[in-house]
Amino acid sequence: MNNIVAIVGRPNVGKSTFFNRLIQRREAIVDSVSGVTRDRIYGKSEWNGKEFSVIDTGGYIKGSDDIFEAEIRKQVELAIEEADAIIFVVDVEEGITPMDAEVAKLLRKVTKPVLLAVNKVDSASREKDAFEFYNLGLGEYFTLSGMNGSGTGDLLDKLVEVLPELPETPDEEEVLPRFCVVGRPNAGKSSFINALIGEDRYIVTDIAGTTRDAIDTRFTKFGFDFNLVDTAGIRRKAKVKEDLEFYSVMRSVRAIEHSDVCILMVDATRGFESQDQNIFWLAQKNRKGVVILVNKWDLIEKETMTMREYELRIREQLEPFTDVPILFISALTKQRLLKALEAAVTVYENRKQRIATSKFNEYMLDLIERFPPPALKGKYIKIKYCMQLPTPVPQFVFFANLPQYVKDPYKRFLENKIRENWNFSGVPIDIYIRDK
């Protein structure tokens, strides 16, 4: 389980550029129009051997400038509540703005580590300009340039030093499988758990986001034994009226990272929305097993939409990772609940399975001989050996004479063939091509 670090600050101070540098990929969209970061707001970073998750809170601020202030305040409040450490980014070119002062006021009350990053400092004269940020009352600051990366190292040294120690996770053997129930507010997560455990552990109301915190429930019925985790209903505070997207993602992060299989609850009456996709993407990025449950199926007029149509529509949105169990349930009428659990257990088993190297080679090398990777620049690619890596999640390595010439379409072909022959339903697979 990782520490969570939130990057806060007003729009256009360079949060996304800094975020990209931390996760070392251009994942957030960077544009000089303020407030353009739209969806990729989550990534993993590592410094001095310490891994942590990074959340760029700029991602969901939409609307005109007058809305920005209230939105930023909400983002900062959520970051204060959810993150283990906060990096507050300001812009040396613009100096201290009223909004910076407002954010600093919120952060001064916090007991969690807060690091002040003065961005866009790419010359000695700018270094001098940064002095004024002492006036924010947050103590020492770090000058950096998100564009060329100078100064990032000092900030990260300090960050890993102040991150709190997380409790050790016990050995794999002793740990029960953890299934976390995720989804947008009001998709029926708590009703699903209540229906399973047969008691009202959770308060269920029509108000979206009434669950209060992530609670583990040990489930030992019908021959099953695992921990069920409700993700704090990915709830929102009374103060927060909209912007549920950002909430869902921020709240899901910890639960997803700490689980083996994610049970993604979708509200049948609303369809598979962008927020559901975001949560699915989060689970997949963390290489977790996924089962999709379309809840409230009892409320759908069956003439208008059949199960098959509904399922196809979801699979289209999941591409290219479409090998995922999708079940239609009703937590209210308890329809197909046991099937849903069986699917989650199967996905957990799929994620753990190991294929013997001899069997794997026998099947895959024969296939590769018949359908070799396309030759590139007149060079033929030969794959002579392959195996499953001894990792907690399914990863396969293929040894080739020219690994750099094996492109993504062929890797997808290999993945599809593995899925055809072995059951990895609901589980992301990684394919690596290495020099033999």
| Chain segment 208-267, per-residue pLDDT in tens | 443 334 456 777 777 788 887 766 444 444 434 445 555 556 667 777 877 899 999 999
DSSP character for 270?
Answer: T
Q: Which residues contact 134 (CB under 8 A, 6 or more apart)?
A: 141
Structural domains of the chain ordered from first start: 3-162 (3.40.50.300), 178-352 (3.40.50.300), 357-434 (3.30.300.20)
- Check the annotation: does 3 bind a ligand: no
CA dihedral 264, 269, 274, 277 (to 10 degrees): 20
Query: Is pLDDT above 50 for 9?
Result: yes
Q: How does pLDDT run across 62-114, given as a tens digit for each residue?
A: 444 555 667 677 777 777 777 889 999 998 888 888 888 888 988 888 888 99
In this predicted structure, the answer to whether residue 126 has a pLDDT above a threshold of 50 is yes
For the chain, what's the residue count?
436
Range name among 197-206, 293-302, 419-428 with the lowest pLDDT average: 197-206
Mean pLDDT in residue range 349-377: 90
425 assigned ligand-binding residue? no
Q: Is the pLDDT of residue 290 over 90?
A: yes
pLDDT at 26 over 60: no
Cα dihedral 280, 285, 287, 292 in deg (nearest 10): 0
| Interval 123-135 mean pLDDT | 83
Query: Binding site annotation covers 267?
Result: no
Query: Does 145 carry a binding-site annotation?
Result: no
Strand partners, 291: 263
Q: Was 358 annotated as part of a binding site? A: no
HSE of 435 in the Cβ direction (CA atoms, 13 Å)?
1
Q: Is 132 left (phi over 0), alpha (psi -120 to 50) or beta?
A: alpha
Backbone angles phi, psi at 102, to 5 degrees: -65, -45
For residue 255, what are its two tokens? 């639960």
Better-predicted residue by pLDDT, 414 or 215: 414
271 is in an annotated binding site: no
Does residue 113 have a known ligand-binding role?
Answer: no
pLDDT(433) > 70? yes
Which pLDDT belongs to residue 38?
38
Q: Is 409 annotated as a binding residue?
A: no
Q: What percent of the chain has pLDDT over 90?
A: 21
Give, in order, the Cα–Cα distances in Å from 363 to each of 20, 312, 355, 357, 410.
40, 30, 11, 10, 16
The yes-or-no verdict on residue 271 having pLDDT over 60 is yes
**pLDDT of 207 strictly over 60:** no
Answer yes or no: is 423 a known binding residue: no
Is there a binding annotation on residue 58?
yes
Q: Which of 24-38, 43-57, 390-404 has the highest mean pLDDT?
A: 390-404
Task: Find out whether 223 is annotated in a ligand binding site.
Answer: no
pLDDT score, position 245 = 53
Q: Would you say 287 is a known binding-site residue?
A: no
Buried/exposed 258-272: b ≥16 CB within 10 Å, e otherwise: bbbbbbbbbbbeeeb
Establish whether 151 is an annotated binding residue: no
Helix axes 152-162, 15-23, angle to 10 degrees: 70
* 45 in a labelled binding site: no
Predicted confidence (pLDDT) at residue 205 exceeds the cutoff of 50: no
pLDDT at 388 over 70: yes
Residue 46: the pLDDT is 83
Question: Is there a binding annotation on residue 385?
Answer: no
Other Cβ atoms closer than 10 A to 11: 18
Determine if residue 225 is labeled as part of a ligand binding site: no
Q: Is 435 annotated as a binding residue?
A: no
> What mean pLDDT value characterizes the chain?
79
The response to whether 57 counts as a known ligand-binding position is: yes
Judge whether 231 is annotated as a binding position. Answer: yes
149 is in an annotated binding site: no
The answer to whether 216 is a known ligand-binding residue is: no
Going by the DSSP 8-state scheme, the letter that residue 423 receives in this structure is -
Which tokens in the block code for residue 13?
A: 């101070």
What six digits make up the tokens of 367? 């296939």
Q: Is 188 annotated as a binding residue?
A: yes
Q: Is 220 annotated as a binding residue?
A: no
At residue 249, the pLDDT reads 64
Q: Is 206 exposed, middle or buried (0-12, 13-18, 19+ CB in 10 A)?
A: exposed
Task: Decide if 148 contacts 123 (C-beta within 8 A).
Answer: no
The verdict on whether residue 436 carries a ligand-binding annotation is no
Consult the annotation and say whether 298 binds a ligand.
yes
Q: Is 10 annotated as a binding residue?
A: yes
Token code pair at residue 29: 């969209």
Measured in Å, how far apart are the chain's first and last C-alpha atoms? 34
Which are the contacts of 338, defined by CB distance < 8 A and separation ≥ 6? Answer: 222
Residue 48, marked binder: no
Is 95 annotated in some ligand binding site?
A: no
Q: Which tokens sit at 335?
A: 């329809």
pLDDT at res. 233: 44
Residue 350, pLDDT above cutoff 90: yes
CA atoms of 249 and 253, how far apart (whole Å): 6
Average pLDDT over residues 21-28: 60
Whole-number Å distance between alpha carbons of 193 and 414: 38
Crossing angle of the two packed helices 244-257 and 274-285, in degrees rounded to 10 = 20
User: How far, in Å, CA of 308 to CA of 328, rounded?
Assistant: 10
State mean pLDDT over 308-315.
88
The reply to whether 121 sits in an annotated binding site is yes
Burial of 403 (0-12, 13-18, 19+ CB in 10 A): middle
